Structures are given as structure tokens and as C-alpha cells.
């Protein structure tokens, strides 16, 4: 599990593990924790030009 204090979107690689996407930090090679993954998946969606839907 990645424990880096600062992770930037451009350092995150979205790897496919079966049917799920696992955001992985390129710098350390570890998967991000749930909180970080959630944040980066939202940022990734934003970078595609879509706003994440807030519920
Ligand atoms: Zn890391």
C-alpha cells in the first residue's frame, strides 16, 4: 500500500486487475489506499472533461 504523503495524478497509473481498476503510484509501485483511489478516480474523470456526480 502506498504511504507517500503527496501523490500527483500524473504519478498514478490505473492498472487493470481482472474487472477492477487499481490506481497504482508509479514512484513506489504500490496501490493507493481507498481514500486516495477515490480522490484520483474523481480527478481522472475531471481530466477527461466530465464532472464527477456528487450524491
Ligand atoms: Zn507512493
- pLDDT (tens digit per residue) in 34-55: 888 888 888 888 888 876 566 6
Residue 2 CA, ligand 1 centroid: distance in Å: 4
Query: Domains in the chain: how many in total?
Result: 1
The reported pLDDT for the residue numbered 55 is 63
Using the CB atoms, write b or e for 19-53: b if 16+ within 10 Å: eeeebbbeeeeebbeeebbebbbeebeeeeeeeee
Report how far residue 49's alpha carbon sits from residue 54's, in angstroms, rounded to the nearest whole number. 15
Tell me if 54 is assigned to some domain. no
Residue 50 CA, ligand 1 centroid: distance in Å: 26
The reported pLDDT for the residue numbered 28 is 96
The reported pLDDT for the residue numbered 31 is 94
Task: Tell me the three cell numbers of residue 32.
Answer: 493507493
Task: Tell me the three cell numbers of residue 52.
Answer: 464527477
The reported pLDDT for the residue numbered 45 is 83
Tell me if 4 is assigned to some domain. no
Q: What average pLDDT is seen over the chain?
A: 87
Which domain does 36 fall in, by range? 9-47
Tell me if 40 is assigned to some domain. yes
Residue 8 CA, ligand 1 centroid: distance in Å: 10
Residue 47 CA, ligand 1 centroid: distance in Å: 21
pTM of the model: 0.70
Those residues whose beta carbon sits under 5 angstroms from the ion ligand 1 are: 2, 4, 25, 28
Amino acid at each position: 500500500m502506498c504511504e507517500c504523503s503527496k501523490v500527483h495524478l500524473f504519478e498514478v497509473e490505473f492498472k487493470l486487475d481482472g474487472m477492477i481498476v487499481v490506481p497504482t503510484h508509479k514512484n513506489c509501485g504500490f496501490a493507493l489506499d481507498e481514500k486516495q483511489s477515490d480522490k484520483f478516480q474523481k480527478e481522472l474523470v475531471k481530466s477527461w472533461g466530465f464532472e464527477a456526480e456528487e450524491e
